[in-house]
Amino acid sequence: MGWLIGPSLGNQVFYLVNRHVKVQMMAKESEFFARVKQHRVDPSNSSAGNPVPDFYGEKIQSVLGYRRWLKDQRAFNKKKTANFV
C-alpha cells in the first residue's frame, strides 16, 4: 500500500513545504506535458518490429533525456515515412 499512497502524500507534503514554488512548478509541468503531446509520434503506425518509443515520455529524467526522447521520436517518424524501393 505504501507504493500507492506514497506519491500522493509526498506531493502534498512537498507542496505544503514549498508553497512559493507551486504555481511555477505547475506551469512548467503543464508546458512540458504540452511539448511531449506536441512532439510524440502517431501510435497507429507502430508494429511489433517497430514499436513506439516511450509514447508518454515517462523515461525522461533530464534535459539530456528530453533531447534523446525527441531524437527517438524523429527517428521513428523518419522510419515511418521512408520510401523503401
Q: What is the dihedral of CA 49, 35, 61, 12, to 10 degrees?
A: -120
pLDDT means over runs of 10, the chain (85 residues): 82 91 94 95 82 90 96 90 66
Amino acid at 60: I
- The pLDDT assigned to 80 comes to 78
Task: Measure the CA dihedral 71/64/30/56, to 10°.
Answer: 50
For position 85, what pLDDT does the model report?
A: 52
